[in-house]
Structure 1
Amino acid sequence: MAFDADEEILQDFLVEAGEILEQLSEQLVDLERHPDDSDLLNAIFRGFHTVKGGAGFLQLEALVNCCHSAENVFDTLRNHKRRVTPELMDVVLQALDYINTMFDQVRNREEPTPAPLSLIQTLDEYALPEGQGAAAARPEPEQSPGPATDEDPGDITDEEFEQLLDALEGDKAGGGSDPKQAEATPSADTPGDDSSDISDDEFEALLDQLHGKGRFSGEVATQSVPDPDETGQPSEPGQSVATGNAEESAKSGDSDLITDDEFERLLDELHGKGKSPGIADGAVARTPADTDKTSKVPDGPEAQARPEAKAAPSPKPGAGKAPETTKPAAAPRDSHPPAAETTVRVDTKRLDDIMNMVGELVLVRNRLQRLGADSEDEHMHKAVSNLDVVTTDLQSAVMATRMQPIKKVFGRFPRVVRDLARNLKKEINLVMHGEETDLDKNLVEALADPLVHLVRNSVDHGIEAPDVREKAGKPRQGTVTLSAEQEGDHILLSIEDDGGGMDPEKLRRKAVEKGIYDQDVADRLTETECFNLIFAAGFSTKDQISDVSGRGVGMDVVKTKISQLNGQIQVHSKLGKGTAIRIKVPLTLAIMPTLMIMLANQSFALPLVNVVEIFHLDLTKKNIVDGRECIVVRDKVFPLFHIKRWLVPSDRGSAEPENAHVVIVAMGTKQVGFVVDQLVGQEEVVIKPLGRALQGTPGMAGATITGDGRIALIIDVPSLLQHYG
């Protein structure tokens, strides 16, 4: 492993290969649904090929071998020598898992662990055309000459090299080749031996025929055997290039360029007709990285022939001059300057630091706005207004640099659904919408686990078995829809399935069995409240525990995580029709819009995402239900909480006012009323973590500095109610 390689090269490989591997997981699942999509087959082939090339350059032998075997499988598939089957895809996806594991090890600067030999052998068997057994399998990648080789389809074996020598010798004799004469032909290791049956010029011509004109020597003055790159067919040994190919040179205008037909004839001569299908595409589509690797790490006949080419003596000066070797095509290519790079790689820590500084600027802006409001100076008002505009634009621009498409999360779900569906013997189609929706990179990482739980839950609990769906008049294949869209400064995520839905009565029975509610309380639960029972710790509708579900942990984790992100989650379900779970989270966690309130003489901030409405209330009109204060607004009953009693201990014994402001806040589907002393107004705040002594304080999400210079605590509504309510 070349960990001591240039760090920039290694980082480029990690970025490029990481993106390709993310795409491969989704492309492989898509291929199983569209097995005849040639564009998809070629894209997957190129993906494995590119990762293999970069790994070979870094001498990652284990990664090269696994990618090479997978690449061979897709070379067979795209040439229509084998069809895509679920069993084949199981093996390829397993190989992709090992490749991802090795890639993570490389990212952590660890030596990659090779994939099991049995997996490589299975891939090699699938790389054979349909109907050929394991006995005809090609050699294992571990036996290849070196990890950095790219196995150019144009390379030939030693046996083919000998056959080509015999063919040239036969042409020189004017008839078929004599085996005895072929055995007597000296090795190419002695090109200068006068007793050899093949001359130096013929050897040069042979090298040109194999690898292209002028690749292994300087200017060639004369050739006894014409260059097949120019003619496509060998001619009489005594004919010179200048005379024999004059007509061809006049037609083409450049003796170094060959037509596609001539290239095909050369391949047929090297490998046998039809032996290497699709090779022209591979040669034309070769990437610069492949060319670079081939030139750095040669193998096969090329590696053997290079020293002999250098040892060949110079041509005699009396011979005819070959056409000029300068390629006119290089001039126009050099005349165009390379395109300037439009991207730059920046460490995420630097972006976080910039975001923190913008947050401090927002606090200064808020402070100046408060001071400007108290001033009557018109110039002061204009300056503060301009600062407000610039700060808002700067904040948006910096946030945009931290934005990532949610596709980074969505990309893993086709594989999750495919594997789980095969495990559960179900037929499921995953549909995704809004993959390009952007949100903060911290949210992208934080949403990954909750969404995996929800998607697995839809596959396991939601979608029925194919036979059950058929009896219910549904198609055998179920559908899980995953969508994302932006709404204002929030992101809406939706996970829907067309499965069996949830039965409220069954949920009530389970709640009583688990001891969550008494029978009387359970009977009074609404359907929405019944659906929310699935988020209770230890609650599960499964009677048997499996490796997929049944422990009642997943959905509890989901709700906890969404609450930590200041988000909301709602469940809608209809028995026999399906279930939809909707999540609402803010675009970013760094700067939060809040409602500033006063309790006694202290400032607090309520996240605006939780605030539903605000109104002034005569507290003498409150009601008592089950020992709890409630208010009725538009025929709706809301529990009432005096949060000042919880958050301001010194004010607990004071008399209650007759009138107060009430803020209705929502947590999922629940809504309650908070009694506050004073409403300050809406304000964007920067969340600062609490000190070590205050970390873990119930109901507190952090702190901030308000526009008037005070320190305000940010209220965590779910945690506050869970601890005090």
Structure 2
Amino acid sequence: MALDADEEILQDFLVEAGEILENLSEQLVDLEQHPDDGDLLNAIFRGFHTVKGGAGFLQLEALVNCCHSAENVFDTLRNHKRRVTSELMDVVLEALDNVNSMFEQVREREEPTPAPDTLIESLMELAKPEDEASQPASEPEPAAEAGSEQPAATDEHGDITDDEFEQLLDALGDGDDSSDAGAGDKAATDAPASGQGSGSDDDEITEDEFEALLDQLHGEGQFKGAPAGEEAAGKPAGKSEEKASDAGDPDLISDDEFENLLDELHGKGAGPSVTAGKPESAPAAKKPEKKPEPAKAPAPKPEPKKDEGKAAPAKEAHHPPAETTVRVDTSRLDDIMNMVGELVLVRNRLQRLGSQSEDSEMHKAVSNLDVVTSDLQSAVMQTRMQPIKKVFGRFPRVVRDLSRSLKKEVDLLMHGEETDLDKNLVEALADPLVHLVRNSVDHGIEDPDVREQNGKPRKGTVTLSAEQEGDHILLSIKDDGAGMDPEVLRRKAVEKGLYDEDAASRLTESECYNLILAAGFSTKDQISDVSGRGVGMDVVKTKISQLNGQINIESVKGKGSNIKIKVPLTLAIMPTLMIMVGGQSFALPLVNVVEIFHLDLTKTNIVDGKECIVVREKVFPLFHVKRWLVPSQAGGEPPANAHVVIVAMGTRQVGFVVDQLIGQEEVVIKPLGRALQGTPGMAGATITGDGRIALIIDVPSLLQHYG
């Protein structure tokens, strides 16, 4: 589809509407739990209304139609003419799905597909009051709608915007007051406006127009009798004179009047009460002067500037927040990150050279470079960070839909939504977490009747949390469901042929729980559209391994399960342990390294045909990585002593025998060339501090291929 709109305007719409739609999914599920929350109803109404407005500007009729229908439903709800029910929410959530689908089509520059007619009809039915007898009362809703929308257009301090002034002017023209004074006000308002139109900005309000607004606010109908006689009769002149003397000029607006004007504008129902509270004060004296002398306005030249000075702060206060952010294409951030990566490599090189020099000035310069590079690296990484709420935001809807389809009652609790991590990780974690949350609802949480029989609340709880631990993020998916039975898992492992009975009987409880991560392994006897094929958890394990992360499973039968995932904050720059094998440098990701020690290789054991070592009563399989990585040098008599690095892959831990330990070093991952892509056990390459090239070991892939 070729959109006629300017590309910049379209991008603004995509960014703003995208954020609103992300929030709507969470807000709608929250509304089902708190149906009487008026603020939430208004927020959802404004969300659909804002998306509709942007879509209308771009002439996306299909999107406008669907949003408008949903908006009408929430207008009925917030006016208390209908109650929030699960059936109503099913329809509204389906509408949101259609809006999201159309939004994605617009993002791809395609013509949006209209929502099904049946859905629009359902929304139109839900927009009608439950009591059909009250339907005529909903006819004058446009005015109420306009009033209720206004808070969305103002900022948090209650300042009023240009658009609101325009709407207030329109309201004056079409006001409910049909008195002669009202007609006179309209004339007084229209005449200056037309006269000023050519000489001033359309967005600026003239002095006469502002006076007319004040007259409308304080009730012009009361002056219909003898306008000129009020002052002579000495009506309540005290307050009026006091204000006039304070201001120095009757044409100036006081703070109280301006507050009242805001109250009138924001539809607080304060019209009559404001008039009662401030009867015939200062504006009473202004009105008689304005009618006989409409041409008097140009005389006091400085006054419009003063009036404008009153209105200007509202405009100035409204605009600055929009100027504090700049939208930058993510590819630019990636380029900057790559350049910072190169700088890190240069710093490593200089540090190595500096350590060999005895020049104190050189040491200072290298030390300063190290500090600046680290700060720059940290600052650039912050620009790539996003809150994990981007992922968490979709789960209330996932849990709500799944629990309804499975006829279960489930509460979702979320903690640490503001935890930041690399944008690439945010996107990569979405699918694994969806699998885990669905598994918790399907496998973990029992049916309400079963929970009741076991002395638990009918409603189960799934808790999703995130927190930062050093340079890693720890994610947890916890449920208070049935938990897992290690014996059942052992039996399934034997049935699937993963272990023989003897080996299965030796598995620890922790190893039993981790069996669910094996490909094709499922504890479900029946396959459903939710689970049972043994695919989901295998996908989760693979994805977390690709992110250099670890996954650990804890469970207590009858109490529930807790799945913990640990992933690095960023994938761009990686802390590693540099090792030497057969005269060549390799980098082991530090996230995989558990511990290091020196070992007498004559004290190894053979278990199940594999060489093992026992450390603190734990048995670790032992692998000589030289035989895999440098096979040409693997022959001859093995050394009596060697360094052993215990590495972890998920919950499995093994020992790697290496020739030499060089030390810890931050490296930048460079992709392998075309000829080397796909090499088993290699995640990429980097340049070391001494200028040599080192391959970065992919521990899961290495063990899977060779071990």
Q: What is the CA–CA distance in structure 1 between the aligned matches of 2:663 and 2:595, rounded to whole Å?
A: 13
8 Å contact kept, 2:263–2:270: no
Structure 2 unaligned regions, length at least 5: 140-148, 151-162, 168-172, 197-205, 244-249, 272-290, 299-303
Structure 2 residue aligned with 1:126: 126
Structure 2 residue aligned with 1:7: 7
Can you list the C-alpha shifts for 1:27-50, whole angstroms capped at 9, x where unaligned? 111111111111211221221222
Can you list the C-alpha shifts for 1:192-250, whole angstroms capped at 9, x where unaligned? xxxxxxxxx99776678xx989656769999xx9998266465798x798889998999
Counterparts of residues 469-618 of structure 1 (less than 5 Å): 469-618=451-600
8 Å contact kept, 2:128–2:135: no
Q: What is the CA–CA distance in structure 2 between the aligned matches of 1:41 and 1:3, rounded to whole Å?
A: 32
What SS does structure 2 have at the residue aligned with 1:680? strand
Structure 1 residue aligned with 2:403: 421
Asked if 1:229 is matched to 2:229, the reply is no
Counterparts of residues 424-439 of structure 1 (less than 5 Å): 424-439=406-421
Which AA in structure 2 matches 1:229? Q
What SS does structure 1 have at the residue aligned with 2:685? strand
What SS does structure 2 have at the residue aligned with 1:522? helix
Asked if 1:71 is matched to 2:71, the reply is yes
Can you list the C-alpha shifts for 1:608-645, whole angstroms capped at 9, x where unaligned? 11111111111111111222111111111111100100
Q: What is the CA–CA distance in structure 1 between the aligned matches of 2:387 and 2:258, rounded to whole Å?
A: 45
Structure 2 residue aligned with 1:27: 27
Equivalent in 669, 672, 675 of residue 690 of structure 1: 672
8 Å contact kept, 2:252–2:307: no
Structure 2 residue aligned with 1:653: 635
8 Å contact kept, 1:403–1:439: yes
Asked if 1:321 is matched to 2:294, the reply is yes
What SS does structure 2 have at the residue aligned with 1:475? coil
| Further displaced range: 408-417 or 514-523 | 514-523
Q: How many residues are aligned here?
A: 631
Q: What is the CA–CA distance in structure 1 between the aligned matches of 2:97 and 2:236, rounded to whole Å?
A: 53
Q: What is the CA–CA distance in structure 1 between the aligned matches of 2:222 and 2:691, rounded to whole Å?
A: 93
Asked if 1:405 is matched to 2:387, the reply is yes
Alpha-carbon distance change, 545 to 282 in structure 1, aligned in 2, over 3 angstroms = farther
Can you list the C-alpha shifts for 1:361-419, whole angstroms capped at 9, x where unaligned? 11111111111111111111111111111111111111011011101000110111111
Q: What is the CA–CA distance in structure 2 between the aligned matches of 1:236 and 1:707, rounded to whole Å?
A: 88
Tell me how far 1:689 sits from its aligned partner: 0.7
What SS does structure 1 have at the residue aligned with 2:353? helix
Q: Say what the alpha-carbon RMSD is for the aligned residues.
A: 3.7
**When the two structures are superposed, what TM-score results if normalisation uses the length of structure 1?**
0.79
Can you list the C-alpha shifts for 1:89-146, whole angstroms capped at 9, x where unaligned? 111111111111111112222222221222222222222222228998999xxxxxxx
Alpha-carbon distance change, 633 to 53 in structure 1, aligned in 2, over 3 angstroms = same
Structure 1 residue aligned with 2:94: 94
Tell me how far 1:436 sits from its aligned partner: 0.6
**When the two structures are superposed, what TM-score results if normalisation uses the length of structure 2?**
0.81
Structure 1 residue aligned with 2:604: 622
| Further displaced range: 700-709 or 255-264 | 255-264
Q: What is the CA–CA distance in structure 1 between the aligned matches of 2:231 and 2:609, rounded to whole Å?
A: 106
8 Å contact kept, 1:596–1:603: yes
Structure 2 residue aligned with 1:304: none
| Further displaced range: 428-437 or 367-376 | 367-376
Which AA in structure 2 matches 1:522? A
Structure 2 residue aligned with 1:104: 104
Structure 2 residue aligned with 1:715: 697
Structure 1 residue aligned with 2:116: 116
Which AA in structure 2 matches 1:103? F
8 Å contact kept, 2:642–2:659: yes
Q: What is the CA–CA distance in structure 1 between the aligned matches of 2:353 and 2:437, rounded to whole Å?
A: 50
Pick the structure with more helix per residue: 2
Structure 2 residue aligned with 1:49: 49
Tell me how far 1:8 sits from its aligned partner: 2.2
Q: What is the CA–CA distance in structure 2 between the aligned matches of 1:321 and 1:243, rounded to whole Å?
A: 19
| Further displaced range: 484-493 or 18-27 | 18-27
Q: What is the CA–CA distance in structure 2 between the aligned matches of 1:281 and 1:327, rounded to whole Å?
A: 31
Tell me how far 1:85 sits from its aligned partner: 0.9
Tell me how far 1:329 sits from its aligned partner: 4.0
Q: What is the CA–CA distance in structure 2 between the aligned matches of 1:339 and 1:234, rounded to whole Å?
A: 40
Structure 1 residue aligned with 2:422: 440
Tell me how far 1:5 sits from its aligned partner: 2.2
Structure 2 residue aligned with 1:275: none
Q: What is the CA–CA distance in structure 2 between the aligned matches of 1:35 and 1:221, rounded to whole Å?
A: 46
Percent identity of paired positions between Structure 1 and Structure 2: 73
Structure 1 unaligned regions, length at least 5: 140-148, 156-160, 173-200, 268-277, 284-317
Structure 1 residue aligned with 2:310: 332
Can you list the C-alpha shifts for 1:537-580, whole angstroms capped at 9, x where unaligned? 11111111111111111100000000000000000001100000
Q: What is the CA–CA distance in structure 1 between the aligned matches of 2:130 and 2:231, rounded to whole Å?
A: 44
Alpha-carbon distance change, 111 to 714 in structure 1, aligned in 2, over 3 angstroms = same
